[in-house]
Structure 1
Amino acid sequence: MGFQLAPTATAEGFRLEAHDSVGSTNALALDRAREGDPGKLWVVSRKQESGRGRRGRAWASPEGNLASTLLLIIDRDLKTAATLGFVAGLALGDALEAIVPGRTAMAADGAGDRRGNRFELKWPNDVLANGAKMAGILLESSMLDANRFALAIGIGVNVVAYPQDVPYPATSLKALGANCDAETLFLALSDAWSENMRLWNEGRGLDLIRQRWLSRAAGLGGEVAVRVDGDVVRGVFETIDEDCRFVIRDDSGALLKIAAGDVHFGVVASAHTA
């Protein structure tokens, strides 16, 4: 089966541009916007040669993994549009739950995930399985004119392979025992995106999105360490606020709101250095 949009996505006017291999789906989507594309365009590929993650980090996607980007043309404020990253996380989580049988994504001791979600969302833009990174989300924007900008919502998923030389645990659907290909996952993702986008409702439904995201949040209530501009802030992960900032309570009881940073859980969060 080749890449296809879900019927719900097609009915809502989304379009598809599929490739066997690309440099970067985000870069290609932004190029399409500069060429005049009206948006609601999914750019997908089974292989990505020069993708990017947060802070310019490389995000390679070997053949069989999913590299996808949704291009939207936005005429609202960028701050509100940035919360679509949380919509993307929810959509991917919903898609994974829909296509991966319940017996997979079990914990190492065979007991399963006792928290109720096999796939968790790590602030601001990762999807985890059993604490290991399986997917990343990257939003990039480009001004088109005085009133509009292009927003590329990149979603990369380790379907058949995961990177070995990274400083954090990683996994793939194949490693979890799931018999799923990139095309099947994308079909479910395009359907789940439409549903969550409707809930977001041009930003008016952000509180609902926030509550849904928190129900899947990794590390909620536990110790975290957040690296912010070279400094490390430690505390307990309390919530995300109405602007989707990461909120932690430090040792003094003060609530700290963090707009951007790298989050670490577990042993790293408890260590004296990170």
Structure 2
Amino acid sequence: MASGFNLSPTAVADGFRLESFAEIGSTNQLALERARAGDPGGLWLVTGHQTGGRGRRGRAWEGPPGNLAATLLLQPKVELSVAATLGFVAALALRDALLAVLPEGAIAVAPDAGDLARGGRFALKWPNDVLADGAKLSGILLETAGAGSDDLAVAIGIGVNVVAHPEATPYPATDLGAMGATATAADLFFALSDAFVDNLRLWQGGRGLAAIRHKWLAGAAGIGSEIAVDTGGTIVRGVFETIDADCHLVIREGNGQVTRIAAGDVHFGAVASVKNFEARA
């Protein structure tokens, strides 16, 4: 077990367990293996160097030494559609943790951040990103094992750019060091393990989803602005109005039609309005 990573006292008191690694291929992959081997859940797997991470839609997630890669394995005893909302729980927990470890005033919103800044210092991008100053700071990936609510296991993977971020990405990226923060991956994980307890309690096995939705909207990026959503082949453009009771994105298209989207990639600002976006997405 690698040294330096610790659970908060609140997480320990709630029965969470921790395994940390100096280096690992994928914390999510290991979590799913543990689930199939009968792990009861409540297990954090964490590293400061992930060599085989992945993001949504099979994209690679870079994890150089010093960045944070953590996965929480849960057995939530809920249906898959309810378990999917754990992504919002994770985003809120990460935002709370970032606000706890970043010194006040260490980040100034860029002049061109526009509608992204409405979510505050750390804004939540639907469905599962956390932005800093309009740039991507982290990614969250949910993967499952099992079929029914009784044996459903959820691996909630969280990657955060702590000391480095990828270059030449479709959208700007950043890291905590670039923002002036001195917090380490271990510092952030300690705060994350604590914040996750609070937000899981708010979620209440899905019964508290309305409270999660309300808290998420308070920190959301881009509400009221023009967006384009790639739903996997179809591009939907319009104004981002809200998320509904099931945390689906609600967009009002140019013809006035209101469309609800369960999954997709959101693009803000100028990229959302370019005519050749379909070819670039």
Shorter chain as normaliser: what TM range? over 0.9
Q: One-letter code of the match for 2:244?
A: D
Partner of 1:84: 86
Other structure's SS at 1:141 match: strand
Alignment counterpart, residue 236 of structure 1, candidates 239, 242, 248: 239
State the distance in 2 between where 1:108 and 1:80 align.
36
Partner of 2:75: 73
Cα deviation code 1:157-211 (max 9, x no counterpart): 0000000132111000001010110000000000000000000011111001001
| Pairwise CA distance, 1:145 | 7.4
Q: One-letter code of the match for 1:30?
A: L
Partner of 2:53: 51
| Pairwise CA distance, 1:33 | 1.3
1:42 aligns with 2:44: yes
Partner of 2:206: 203
Please tell me whether the aligned partners of residues 118 and 222 of structure 2 are also in contact (alpha carbons under 8 angstroms): no
Q: How many residues align?
A: 274
Cα deviation code 1:19-70 (max 9, x no counterpart): 0110000001111112221110000000001111000000120100000000
Alignment counterpart, residue 155 of structure 2, candidates 152, 155, 162: 152
Please tell me whether the aligned partners of residues 113 and 134 of structure 2 are also in contact (alpha carbons under 8 angstroms): no
State the distance in 2 between where 1:209 and 1:66 align.
24
Structure (1 or 2) with the greater strand fraction: 1
1:260 aligns with 2:255: no
Alignment counterpart, residue 63 of structure 1, candidates 47, 62, 65: 65
Alignment counterpart, residue 123 of structure 1, candidates 118, 123, 126: 126
Partner of 1:175: 178
Please tell me whether the aligned partners of residues 53 and 59 of structure 1 are also in contact (alpha carbons under 8 angstroms): yes
Gaps of 5+ in 1: none
Structure 1 residues 197-206 or 105-114, which shifts more? 105-114
| Pairwise CA distance, 1:147 | 3.1
Please tell me whether the aligned partners of residues 219 and 265 of structure 1 are also in contact (alpha carbons under 8 angstroms): yes
Partner of 1:9: 11
Gaps of 5+ in 2: none
State the distance in 1 between where 2:113 and 2:148 align.
54
Normalization by structure 1: what TM-score?
0.96
State the distance in 2 between where 1:228 and 1:269 align.
13
Partner of 1:105: 107
| Pairwise CA distance, 1:107 | 2.1
1:250 aligns with 2:279: no
State the distance in 2 between where 1:131 and 1:201 align.
31
| Pairwise CA distance, 1:108 | 3.3
Please tell me whether the aligned partners of residues 34 and 144 of structure 1 are also in contact (alpha carbons under 8 angstroms): no
1:132 aligns with 2:135: yes
State the distance in 2 between where 1:13 and 1:162 align.
33
Q: How well do the aligned residues superpose, as a CA RMSD in angstroms?
A: 1.9
Other structure's SS at 2:96 match: helix
| Pairwise CA distance, 1:116 | 6.2
State the distance in 1 between where 2:19 and 2:40 align.
13
Change (3 A) 1:30 1:108: same
State the distance in 2 between where 1:82 and 1:30 align.
16
Please tell me whether the aligned partners of residues 119 and 220 of structure 2 are also in contact (alpha carbons under 8 angstroms): no
State the distance in 1 between where 2:212 and 2:127 align.
14
Partner of 1:21: 23
The percentage of aligned residue pairs carrying the same residue is 60
